[in-house]
Structure 1
Amino acid sequence: MERFSKQYIKNTGVLLLNIRPSLVDRDTLVIDLNSPVRSLGTTVYGGGLGYIGSVIFKRVDKCFSNPSPQAYAGEIARSLGRESSAVFLTASDVSQYIYSEAEDSGVSVEGIATIGLTHPACIGGEPESRAIGTINIFILTSEGLSDIGLADLLRTVSEAKAGYLSILGLSCRGLPAVGTVSDATLVASPGGSTDYAGLGTLVGQLASRVLRNIFRSHMSSRGLDDYMRYMGYEDRDNIHPRHALLKRLELLVEEIMGIDIIPWLDRGAAKEILRIIWRISHG
């Protein structure tokens, strides 16, 4: 059993050790917790509101089509002797999980995630059949949150994820993406009386910092071709690295005008900006 993956060591600063990840095999990551915690999430098994003692990331085939994924995930948990767990099913390589932590004023937040940016979920797009989880995020805080606080933290993690992906430029056919069609998120806390965990709170800001580090780590292992693909550009030949930001700006203008959420914006000005970007990139 491999205790820590290379990516775990690479992305660890001050290890808080409230979560203990172990690779059981190349397709199974088990995270044992120091003690049971109150949790809220969208995992296929162990989701909703409850208590968990561990978290499992299970890699499955991209064409996974089990008619009862909940039963399948439950069997995985039982086979590992961890029925009181939450199970993520993902097509991503679980051995490349990313760990990040943040701490301030006695409050800590730790996160583990597997990231795959295929099948983007885009605002204004068409419904798409659910694929196997691509962005799977587990967040644990030392803050004593009530059930309302857990719901607030889940909201915060979802908002921060959407914000970072929007800045990144994840897109489908020029429409902004805020995740993928199969994301799963789980948040947990020892339990307590704190009802607030939004971005106006310390725990919310720490959670957003953890997510930022996770996405930054993912992008550090990806190249220009991946980035252009994330933005939805099919023609990626002869793209110079210095053009990546120009392409991102081009896409941003197209997204703003395509969503049409600011009706009084000057479309003529937007076209002129796009012409300027084109001249710079071809100059």
Structure 2
Amino acid sequence: MSRLHLDRPWLSLDLGRDMPVLSWAVNRPGQVRARRILWREVRNADLPEDLDVEDWLDRELTAQQAFDAVCFLTSCDIGTYAEVRATAGTITARAVATVGLSNAERVGRRLPPAAHGWGTINIAVTLDAGLTDAARLEAMSIATQARTVAITEAGLRLATGLATGTGTDCVAIAAPEGTTRYAGLHTEAGEAVGRAVLDAVRQGAQAWTRPAKEAQHG
């Protein structure tokens, strides 16, 4: 059973054993074998404009003896993470999401860089079913689709239109090797991944937007 541990500025998801992890994370992107998925919370002071972010993160991970981990970066409060499990048939998916929307964008149109913050959406998904490489890619597409639906539902309006994500979102899919060939919307794997991610990102988006709404009505 994978374990989740918060020790600021780190959030760590132990997968229980090495397995394929597919992501475009800052550390160890692509498809790699890893035992841990990490979040590193940062503040503006941690990342001055001239900083080599990848070199800085390498040093941080080395100090934690975690250079082999897949690692996200975010300025949102990692203590507000949302964790959801969903089961469809014989397959269970677990999604852990941190959601910040200060870096929000609408797909197909960019805001000027000066308008950007660095709160972002980072999602780790684990499955208890063994997947082929193709099914892992398909599961990634379902997770991304679910993320977009949840953010659209949040109703955050930008100068470019309704937000669909952030400029620095990242998703990691962790699942053992196996023979499951498909993970689309018609499958148990796709249903489980979609529901877990949708509910986790929805919870995170609600937590992020609640203070602003309370201030408007206070």
Give the match for residue 22 of structure 1. 5
Give the match for residue 167 of structure 2. 181
The answer to whether the Cα contact below 8 Å between 2:125 and 2:197 also exists between their aligned partners in 1 is no
> Residues 237, 108 of structure 1: CA spacing in aligned structure 2 closer, same or farther, 3 A cutoff?
closer
Q: Which has the higher strand share?
A: 2
1:135 to 121, 126, 131: 121
Aligned residues: 214
Q: Deviations over 1:73-107 (max 9, x none)?
A: 23332222223210111101122221111123321
Q: SS at the partner of 2:27?
A: coil
Q: Which amino acid aligns with 1:20?
A: R
Cα distance in 1 between the residues matched to 2:198 and 2:93: 13
Cα distance in 2 between the residues matched to 1:48 and 1:185: 11
Residue 139 of structure 2 is aligned to residue 153 of structure 1 = yes
> Residues 198, 133 of structure 1: CA spacing in aligned structure 2 closer, same or farther, 3 A cutoff?
farther
Give the match for residue 211 of structure 1. 197
The answer to whether the Cα contact below 8 Å between 2:101 and 2:119 also exists between their aligned partners in 1 is no
> Residues 149, 68 of structure 1: CA spacing in aligned structure 2 closer, same or farther, 3 A cutoff?
farther
The answer to whether the Cα contact below 8 Å between 2:12 and 2:38 also exists between their aligned partners in 1 is yes
The answer to whether the Cα contact below 8 Å between 2:101 and 2:208 also exists between their aligned partners in 1 is no
Residue 61 of structure 2 is aligned to residue 77 of structure 1 = yes
Cα distance in 1 between the residues matched to 2:151 and 2:206: 15
Q: How does 1:65-104 map to 2 (within 5 A)?
A: 65=48, 67-104=51-88
Report 1 or 2 for greater relative contact order, CA contacts < 8 Å, sequence distance ≥ 6: 2
Q: CA deviation at 1:201?
A: 1.4
Q: Any unmatched runs of 5+ in structure 2?
A: none
Residue 113 of structure 2 is aligned to residue 126 of structure 1 = no
Q: CA deviation at 1:128?
A: 4.5
Q: CA deviation at 1:154?
A: 1.0
2:35 to 42, 45, 53: 53
Q: CA deviation at 1:227?
A: 4.8
TM-score, length-scaled by structure 1 = 0.68
Give the match for residue 260 of structure 1. none
The answer to whether the Cα contact below 8 Å between 1:89 and 1:133 also exists between their aligned partners in 2 is no
Q: How does 1:184-263 map to 2 (within 5 A)?
A: 184-219=170-205, 221=207, 226-227=212-213, 237=216
The answer to whether the Cα contact below 8 Å between 1:27 and 1:95 also exists between their aligned partners in 2 is no
Q: SS at the partner of 2:136?
A: helix
Q: CA deviation at 1:41?
A: 0.5
Cα distance in 2 between the residues matched to 1:60 and 1:36: 27
TM-score, length-scaled by structure 2 = 0.86
Q: SS at the partner of 1:22?
A: strand
The answer to whether the Cα contact below 8 Å between 1:123 and 1:176 also exists between their aligned partners in 2 is no
The answer to whether the Cα contact below 8 Å between 1:170 and 1:176 also exists between their aligned partners in 2 is yes
Cα distance in 1 between the residues matched to 2:14 and 2:107: 36
The answer to whether the Cα contact below 8 Å between 1:46 and 1:52 also exists between their aligned partners in 2 is no
Q: Deviations over 1:86-133 (max 9, x none)?
A: 011110112222111112332110111111111211134235447545
The answer to whether the Cα contact below 8 Å between 2:120 and 2:166 also exists between their aligned partners in 1 is yes
The answer to whether the Cα contact below 8 Å between 2:121 and 2:168 also exists between their aligned partners in 1 is yes
Name the Cα RMSD after superposition: 2.4
> Residues 223, 144 of structure 1: CA spacing in aligned structure 2 closer, same or farther, 3 A cutoff?
closer
Cα distance in 2 between the residues matched to 1:94 and 1:175: 27
> Residues 178, 147 of structure 1: CA spacing in aligned structure 2 closer, same or farther, 3 A cutoff?
same
> Residues 67, 222 of structure 1: CA spacing in aligned structure 2 closer, same or farther, 3 A cutoff?
closer
Residue 25 of structure 2 is aligned to residue 39 of structure 1 = no
